[in-house]
A and B are shown apart, each in its own frame.
Chain A
């Protein structure tokens, strides 16, 4: 694989992503509550249109696309195994998503975007990830 661009490019793309999710209010606890209560269309509209662009573009890229350096596009498959890690881990994350109103991307956007207490949530999330690393071999996957 040819070497891609430097870190500055990913930093710049991250800035754009941070602007989009903040201005789109998908990092707002209020919007997440509206979604989980099925009382508004905003978040569902975001998900639906995001998936339309992501699915169509990624499927096209996998067949015809190349990276900027001319390599084939490679997406490592996610083996489903027993499915336990996705069902159980996913549900545990969902509980945290409703509490904090944020998934990992929004945690960073909120920490910078005027809700600095989210730095504490990032530390707590690191502790959660670390705890998973501690018990990984004993959990069903």
Chain B
């Protein structure tokens, strides 16, 4: 029997400070700048010939980060499967109502299974949300040179103006997609 305390989700005031600590920890451990999106480049590099962007020593530059990403996968399994929260994610009632109005009916787990499952991948909305969405994540982070961790945490922690601009872009895009594109895709 797993104690309830281990299954429960963590509040923002526990999660936030812990996330912020990964930037200094990786710097102290080996002068590594915390960021995850470079792994998409490191994963493409061994399979690609003839493009400058992928012609670099991906093992030397990216080995540590690929190991870090593999760890995230295992950590996700421990916290999301082994110690799975049995309750629905406690989002605001207003959000639940907004999503129901868009035709979302399953609220169990971390993401709605009616969109984020293998069977839904064969539907138009599943394909757009997972595949087009994934493509935009990969293209956008490569173009911007970082993601929520690399720019949003590491870059902002280093007080880099470029990262603050990127973070503003993340929110502009996310708000635009939520308010204008999702109603078109989901309905």
Q: Are B153 and A54 in contact (CB under 8 A)?
A: yes
Q: Are A121 and B36 in contact (CB under 8 A)?
A: no
Given A87-B169, A113-B81, A99 contacting B15 (CB threshold 8 A): no
Q: Are A71 and B76 in contact (CB under 8 A)?
A: no
Which residues of chain B from 105 to 121 have any CB-CB distance to chain A below 8 Å in the complex?
107, 109-112, 115-118, 120-121
Interface assignment of B21: CB less than 8 Å from any CB of chain A:
yes
Q: Are B75 and A14 in contact (CB under 8 A)?
A: yes
Q: Are A86 and B145 in contact (CB under 8 A)?
A: yes
A114 to B75, CA, bound (A): 11
- Chain B residue contacts of A61, Cβ below 8 A: 24, 27-28
Min CB distance, A117 to chain B, in Å? 5
Q: Are A17 and B80 in contact (CB under 8 A)?
A: no
Interface size on B, as a range, is: 35 or more
Q: Are B171 and A100 in contact (CB under 8 A)?
A: no
Q: What residue of chain A has the Cβ atom nearest to residue B133's Cβ?
A: A99
A28 to B122, CA, bound (A): 22
Q: Are B80 and A114 in contact (CB under 8 A)?
A: yes
Min CB distance, A90 to chain B, in Å? 2
Q: Are B147 and A104 in contact (CB under 8 A)?
A: yes
Q: Are A100 and B133 in contact (CB under 8 A)?
A: yes
A13 to B65, CA, bound (A): 10
- Chain A residue contacts of B78, Cβ below 8 A: 15, 18-19, 22
Interface membership of chain A positions 21-48, coded 1 if the CB is closer than 8 angstroms to chain B and 0 otherwise:
1111111111111111101111111111
Q: Are A13 and B68 in contact (CB under 8 A)?
A: yes
Q: Determine which residue in A15, A46, A105, A116 has the highest number of CB atoms from chain B within 10 A of its CB, and name it.
A: A105
Interface assignment of B86: CB less than 8 Å from any CB of chain A:
no
- Chain A residue contacts of B159, Cβ below 8 A: 55, 59
Interface assignment of B43: CB less than 8 Å from any CB of chain A:
yes
Within 8 Å by CB of A65, from B28, B166, B169, lies B28
A139 to B130, CA, bound (A): 25
- Chain A residue contacts of B167, Cβ below 8 A: 90
Q: What residue of chain A has the Cβ atom nearest to residue B31's Cβ?
A: A67
Min CB distance, B157 to chain A, in Å? 4
Q: Are A29 and B73 in contact (CB under 8 A)?
A: no
Q: Are A121 and B131 in contact (CB under 8 A)?
A: yes
Which residues of chain A from 41 to 70 have any CB-CB distance to chain B below 8 Å in the complex?
41-55, 57-59, 61-62, 65-69
Within 8 Å by CB of B16, from A46, A87, A113, lies A46
Additional 5 contacts, C-beta under 8 A, given A17-B72, A98-B176:
A58-B23, A75-B27, A96-B134, A103-B147, A104-B149
A residues with CB within 8 A of B: 1, 4-5, 7-37, 39-55, 57-59, 61-62, 65-69, 71, 73-80, 83, 85-105, 107-118, 120-134, 136-137, 139
Q: What are the 7 A-B residue pairs with the smallest beta carbon separation, nearest first?
A: A18-B75, A14-B71, A94-B173, A90-B169, A113-B80, A4-B30, A128-B138
